[in-house]
Structure 1
Amino acid sequence: MSERKHSRWPLLGLVIAAVATVTLALTGAAKNVPGLEFIPSGHWIANPEQGLVVRVDGATKKPDTQVSVPGVTPGSQVVQDGTHGYVVGDDDVTIFGKSTLSVEATVPAPVKGERSVPIETAGGAYSVFRQSGQIVRLGLEPKVMSAGGPVGPPVATGDGTVWLHRTDSGAICTVVRDATSVSCTAAAPAGHAGGLTVSGGKVVFVDTTADTMSVVEAKGLGPAIKLGVDAPSDARIATADAAGKVALLDPAGNRMHLVEVRVNEKGALAEQRPPAATVPLPAGEYDAPAVSGEAVVLLDHKSKSVRTYDNGGREKHSTPIPQEKGRPELVRGEDARVYVDGGEGKHVVVVDKDGSLQPVPVIGAKPEEPKQPVQPPVVPPAVPTVPPTVPSADKPADRPVPPPTTNRPVPPPARANPPQQTPPPIPVTPPGMPQNLAIAITTKQVDATVTWGAAPANGAPVTAYHISWQSEGGRSGSASVAGGTLSYVVKGIWSGKDHPFTVTVVAQNSAGRGAPATARQVPPPSTKSISLTKGPRAPDCKEPNCYYMHIVMTGFEPGTRYSVNPHSTRAGYSNPGHGITTNEQGRAEFNAFYYHGAGDTVWVTADGVESNRLEWTE
């Protein structure tokens, strides 16, 4: 990576913006947020005309929170993690707090002249720049990493890992939670087109050159099975499955294939499965399919509309996209819903997990002033004409004759301030999804501490949270806590060698139970393992074509220092080794032991464990 002035995004010299913001209930229902209460996850979109970023609640289909961001530019993307939002523009990134709803910093953009793909995972918020192969984990101290070349559409798994496919070399790379570099330990066939998707928690490489698909394993691809369809090399692949079906779009053929993925007991893809379904589409200009729950979402720029299909290929809903300047795009939110962002940030179409569609104005028009009731014209009382005084014998001459009586009613004077009608109360609905659900556990614990953020109340206080858990080894249970409690300890769920388990948390108020949040915990490797691949070029080596060894250690004791020693088939080779300390998960990843002997076989050992043997190449 070049030593550019801003390549590491130093915090020194950051422009700290003291911007006053207002928590605005655009629907009339939101309240001020206490200092330590985080705004729950939803979807944020930038509206440059208003100078705002606005959060749309996917559950209620309403905008409910906004932050003032002066200078936000058209086309800016908003990505979020658990505590912050990041407005990624062409020249800079503006960082705002989700608890304070105020701008905290502005930093230079990591890559100029290239639009990124936003990724929101359990491991953080990322911007992936596909052409340059740069991956940025956003934050107040962001981390810029390089895959070494251009990449295809990224995918993410539930443990917070981002997966990338190098389109030039075929390497399949990962960025794990808190990693400081990209690791590439598997590869697809060189020169084969295709892409990655996630199905049932497994990362699958779809090879559109060979019309096959394979599970991505630690050191390569698993057995390949046939897709059952003739996919073009430029097929656009959904990055997640729709209830076990992977969507492949054939852009020239105006059709979509839905291929079922089944994993057998050995963790490989099963050959026996129903035939793929092929769905004819209206002629259009389609983006790659996206998935919301069990629904496949297609954005057609030609007809300016969005369509949804079930995983059997039946069309469910369609709606035109509100017309705006700029190009709309599909974004998969942290809540696994799909959002269709308008080109100017004025509208969002929310795609729910059943495929239903709801256009949402991001910033509505100002409410009209209440109309004054029409009053009848005020007619002043008639001034009676006084007839001349007629003297008579029984009426004094100075006494006027009384005016004739009239039956015309005199209207009452108009009121200056007519009463205004009270707006109807906002209806109470069940709470939204509990936010930022997480499971804290270590290899030496048998209990799991489950934590979550407050669910959107939606008009009535949250009175309870209901927790349930299910282990793939058969253990299950449930419990309930009061509405003000945001954690629970599941006793004895895991002994360190048990199966993965899933926890679900649902909020309840007077209107009922809301949308569930789920999280899955996978035990770390129970056996020690060392993976060895060829690493980056070694600038300190005096020999030509000299590269580091790239070493990944897993399953070792957490926080323990080990001596790692390299070995080679070259006669007389020796190296004093290198000391490394594992992290809290018993993992270590590093580059060391530069080497230049093409044709030799190398390996490393640590604590009696031997890595794979690697034939060194120039």
Structure 2
Amino acid sequence: MSERKHSRWPLVGLVVAVVAAVTLALTGAVKQVPGLEFIPSGHWVANPELGLVVRVDGSTKKPDTQVSVPGLTPGSQVVQDETHGYVVGSDDVTIFGKSTLSVEATVPAPVKGERSVPVQAAGGAYSVFRQSGRIVRLGLDPQVFDAGGPVGSPVSTSDGTVWVHRTDSGAICRLARGATNLDCPTVAPAGHTGGLTVAGDRVVFVDTTADSMSVVEGKGLGTAVKLGVDAPPNARIAPVDAAGRVAVLDPAGRRMHLVEARVDDKGALAEQRPPAETVQLPDGEYDSPSVSGDSVVLLDHKSNSVRTYDNRGRQRHSAAIPQEKGKPELVRGEDARVYVDGSEGKHVVVVDKDGSMQPVPVVGAKPEESRKPVPPPVQPTTTKPADTNADRPVPPPNTGRPVPPPQTRTNQAQPPPQAQPPVRTPPPIPVTSPGMPPNLAIAITPQQVDATVTWGAAPANGAPVTAYHISWTSQGGRSGTDSVPGTAFTYVIRGIWQGADHPFTVTVVAQNSAGRGTPATANAAPPKRVPKIDLTKGPIAPRCDHENCYWMHILMTGFKPNTQYKVDPHSTDSGYSNPGHSLRTDADGNAVLNAFFYHGAGHTVWVTAGGVESNRLEWTE
């Protein structure tokens, strides 16, 4: 190597800054540990006669919790999110706490004069008004989103996004979880009828004009595949697939098609598919089909019955619906069960995921003022006449004809009316310990040693939740316990990692007057460390003997914490050499270094440390 080249690159000149907390380049968004959300089991129904909204547990098929709601009107719908229930009436929305079991607010109905379709999606409760094309995200301050025209039946995906299809323009719109505006990036073919469904957690447009279906992609529709059946323009589409098949109801033809709709790993519908199954239905008046687990559910208003089928069209069960005034309604819960609500809120039929059904009477205690005992009626009294001989019969004259036996006279006073039995009210639901807190999740960031634990309101089961108890254990030996009030749904565990990658377990259990309930448990660990080195051109090197001489700026992330590493620079210039520099990572395994000043445009430089190579950077003047 020439002397000139030696003079161009001194042995080493460096300024080292090992930073304890790496700035924006290292900051990562909070991530949810996958697989930690628990879907709430159960369905709320309004019973105006009792003045109650009652929760029916989908697993036990029993009512287990109630809230007194004064002024309930017939036809009120109840929709729930993680912490609250919303009683949607014709004029207002009543909001109650699921942990306090009490009404917290009443707000005016955002849309009046139209019955909505309730939607319970992850992280939100919605009312969709199809005729006016409005989607309402329910809350203390309800948000109204206008699609601009009438929409078809809504669907939702597991990420909490609600989707609707404009029946006039063909626009397909989505409202993401927490979004502040409605986005309509996709449009179905002009003049085509159809509806939305969800298959493999992908939204699919079923085109009943072209008898095809396509996955809804970012800004358009994917490749169309044929249904293999003739679907009429007014076909009714199930909101989700049943074990890979979508139910398409032909109401006029009294038949149901079950169309294969499996989505491959790339998010596309498979073109090679088995033929559709067609089921001929009895004469009836059918609602749109729904799905419970892997069972298709049909509600027939003509026979007032429910039928369930497997995804091959074989009937599983059939049951009559308890009689109530008005029409019953199918509601698909967030627990993937279907609930058939009676129009008066007196009965719910729970359709389980295997297609079996269980009618559940909606019972509960009336408000306290209606439980006053009914006093027995006053018994009327009679007075016996003073002349007791007046009661004796007078013998008839002797006429020679047979004389009938004398009739015994009774007291002329009317017998006392029988006491009316007291009005019987349904027995109060017994108080039991709370259910499992839903949606337990742990938020983590690579730069922090803390863990933020969140959960939803546990089913109160007859008495307000007064506290949540949190406990945690780390494989590194750290453990602890704490408690928060029953209105709190978050807790921060300080120093759970302390620079180590030990997995840990968190348990949250609710308590009410009956004691502690079923605990929710989650396991978590810091994100897997992926060592990475980012190399950029740094600031001017003041001690360099050449013009346009700059430091190499080195950013190390994801390395072992508190560990010594040697950083070596490299160049495509064959005459370059440098002994490198040693540094120590911080408690999070990160480090920042300005070192190895360099000049000489056109060369490519890079660094290595701990067996990891940085990006290659073309050096410029």
Residues 456/86 of structure 1: CA separation in 2 closer, same or farther (3 Å cut): closer
Cα distance in 2, alignment partners of residues 298 and 480 from structure 1: 43
Task: Give yes or no for contact 1:341–1:348 (8 Å, CA) kept in 2.
Answer: yes
Matches within 5 A, 1:550-589: none
Aligned residues: 391
What residue in structure 1 maps to residue 123 of structure 2?
123
Deviations 1:209-242 (A, max 9, x none): 1000000001000010000111111110001111
What residue in structure 2 maps to residue 230 of structure 1?
230
Q: Which runs of 5+ in 1 are unaligned?
A: 1-37, 370-425, 467-477, 498-618
Deviations 1:547-602 (A, max 9, x none): xxxxxxxxxxxxxxxxxxxxxxxxxxxxxxxxxxxxxxxxxxxxxxxxxxxxxxxx
What residue in structure 2 maps to residue 110 of structure 1?
110
Task: Give yes or no for contact 2:193–2:233 (8 Å, CA) kept in 1.
Answer: yes
Cα distance in 2, alignment partners of residues 208 and 341 from structure 1: 30
TM-score, with length taken from structure 1: 0.58
What residue in structure 1 maps to residue 62 of structure 2?
62
Matches within 5 A, 1:328-477: 328-363=328-363, 435-438=438-441, 440=443, 452-453=455-456
What residue in structure 2 maps to residue 305 of structure 1?
305
What residue in structure 2 maps to residue 135 of structure 1?
135
Amino acid at match of 2:288: A
What residue in structure 2 maps to residue 490 of structure 1?
524
Amino acid at match of 1:222: G
Task: Give yes or no for contact 1:448–1:493 (8 Å, CA) kept in 2.
Answer: no
Task: Give yes or no for contact 2:341–2:347 (8 Å, CA) kept in 1.
Answer: yes
Residues 207/40 of structure 1: CA separation in 2 closer, same or farther (3 Å cut): closer
Amino acid at match of 1:490: A
Deviations 1:172-225 (A, max 9, x none): 111011112211001111211101001111100000010000000010000100
CA-CA distance at 1:270 after TM superposition: 1.1
Residues 70/454 of structure 1: CA separation in 2 closer, same or farther (3 Å cut): closer
Task: Give yes or no for contact 1:308–1:315 (8 Å, CA) kept in 2.
Answer: yes
CA-CA distance at 1:107 after TM superposition: 1.1
Deviations 1:444-483 (A, max 9, x none): 8999977545876999xx99999xxxxxxxxxxx997667
Task: Tell me the secondary structure at the aligned position of residue 439 of structure 2.
Answer: strand
Amino acid at match of 2:234: D
Cα distance in 2, alignment partners of residues 93 and 244 from structure 1: 37
Cα distance in 1, alignment partners of residues 245 and 433 from structure 2: 31
Cα distance in 2, alignment partners of residues 340 and 268 from structure 1: 33
Task: Give yes or no for contact 2:328–2:343 (8 Å, CA) kept in 1.
Answer: yes
Task: Give yes or no for contact 1:450–1:489 (8 Å, CA) kept in 2.
Answer: no
CA-CA distance at 1:96 after TM superposition: 0.8
Residues 168/365 of structure 1: CA separation in 2 closer, same or farther (3 Å cut): same
Task: Tell me the secondary structure at the aligned position of residue 287 of structure 2.
Answer: coil
Matches within 5 A, 1:188-199: 188-199=188-199
What residue in structure 1 maps to residue 267 of structure 2?
267
Residues 225/53 of structure 1: CA separation in 2 closer, same or farther (3 Å cut): same
Residues 365/65 of structure 1: CA separation in 2 closer, same or farther (3 Å cut): closer
Task: Give yes or no for contact 1:292–1:338 (8 Å, CA) kept in 2.
Answer: yes
What residue in structure 1 maps to residue 211 of structure 2?
211
Cα distance in 1, alignment partners of residues 354 and 150 from structure 2: 35
| Identical residues among aligned pairs (%) | 76
Cα distance in 2, alignment partners of residues 432 and 351 from structure 1: 21
CA-CA distance at 1:147 after TM superposition: 0.6
Cα distance in 1, alignment partners of residues 87 and 346 from structure 2: 16
Task: Tell me the secondary structure at the aligned position of residue 435 of structure 1.
Answer: coil
What residue in structure 2 maps to residue 415 of structure 1?
none
Residues 177/463 of structure 1: CA separation in 2 closer, same or farther (3 Å cut): closer
Cα distance in 2, alignment partners of residues 440 and 451 from structure 1: 8
Amino acid at match of 1:299: L
Task: Give yes or no for contact 1:55–1:63 (8 Å, CA) kept in 2.
Answer: yes
Relative to structure 2, which stretch is displaced further, 206-215 or 103-112? Answer: 103-112
Amino acid at match of 1:363: V
CA-CA distance at 1:435 after TM superposition: 2.1
Residues 265/53 of structure 1: CA separation in 2 closer, same or farther (3 Å cut): closer
Instruction: Tell whether 2:177 aligns with 1:153.
Output: no
CA-CA distance at 1:440 after TM superposition: 3.8
Task: Give yes or no for contact 1:449–1:490 (8 Å, CA) kept in 2.
Answer: no
Q: RMSD between aligned alpha carbons?
A: 3.7
CA-CA distance at 1:123 after TM superposition: 2.8
Residues 492/440 of structure 1: CA separation in 2 closer, same or farther (3 Å cut): closer
Task: Give yes or no for contact 2:99–2:458 (8 Å, CA) kept in 1.
Answer: no
Residues 306/481 of structure 1: CA separation in 2 closer, same or farther (3 Å cut): same
Deviations 1:63-97 (A, max 9, x none): 01111111110000000111111110111111111
Task: Give yes or no for contact 2:39–2:334 (8 Å, CA) kept in 1.
Answer: no
What residue in structure 2 maps to residue 4 of structure 1?
none
Task: Give yes or no for contact 2:440–2:521 (8 Å, CA) kept in 1.
Answer: no
Cα distance in 2, alignment partners of residues 162 and 99 from structure 1: 26
What residue in structure 2 maps to residue 46 of structure 1?
46
What residue in structure 1 maps to residue 285 of structure 2?
285
Deviations 1:589-618 (A, max 9, x none): xxxxxxxxxxxxxxxxxxxxxxxxxxxxxx
Task: Give yes or no for contact 1:448–1:491 (8 Å, CA) kept in 2.
Answer: no
What residue in structure 1 maps to residue 561 of structure 2?
none
Task: Give yes or no for contact 1:292–1:355 (8 Å, CA) kept in 2.
Answer: yes
Indicate the structure (1 or 2) with the bigger Cα radius of gyration.
Answer: 2
Relative to structure 2, which stretch is displaced further, 108-117 or 433-442? Answer: 433-442
Deviations 1:35-57 (A, max 9, x none): xxx99652000001111111101
Cα distance in 2, alignment partners of residues 457 and 71 from structure 1: 23
Using CA pairs under 8 Å that are at least 6 residues apart, name the structure with larger relative contact order, 1 or 2.
Answer: 2
Task: Give yes or no for contact 1:194–1:207 (8 Å, CA) kept in 2.
Answer: yes
Residues 443/77 of structure 1: CA separation in 2 closer, same or farther (3 Å cut): farther
Residues 118/456 of structure 1: CA separation in 2 closer, same or farther (3 Å cut): closer
Task: Tell me the secondary structure at the aligned position of residue 436 of structure 1.
Answer: coil
Task: Give yes or no for contact 1:447–1:489 (8 Å, CA) kept in 2.
Answer: no
Cα distance in 2, alignment partners of residues 102 and 211 from structure 1: 50
Cα distance in 2, alignment partners of residues 106 and 316 from structure 1: 42
Residues 438/214 of structure 1: CA separation in 2 closer, same or farther (3 Å cut): farther
Task: Give yes or no for contact 1:40–1:453 (8 Å, CA) kept in 2.
Answer: no
Residues 434/316 of structure 1: CA separation in 2 closer, same or farther (3 Å cut): farther
CA-CA distance at 1:495 after TM superposition: 7.3
Task: Tell me the secondary structure at the aligned position of residue 178 of structure 2.
Answer: coil
Cα distance in 2, alignment partners of residues 300 and 364 from structure 1: 29
Task: Give yes or no for contact 1:202–1:215 (8 Å, CA) kept in 2.
Answer: yes
Q: Which runs of 5+ in 2 are unaligned?
A: 1-37, 374-428, 463-467, 473-502, 510-518, 532-621
Deviations 1:479-537 (A, max 9, x none): 9766746453422567799xxxxxxxxxxxxxxxxxxxxxxxxxxxxxxxxxxxxxxxx
Task: Give yes or no for contact 2:507–2:522 (8 Å, CA) kept in 1.
Answer: no
Task: Give yes or no for contact 1:447–1:490 (8 Å, CA) kept in 2.
Answer: no
Deviations 1:226-274 (A, max 9, x none): 0011111111000111111100111011111111112234322111111
Task: Give yes or no for contact 1:350–1:358 (8 Å, CA) kept in 2.
Answer: yes
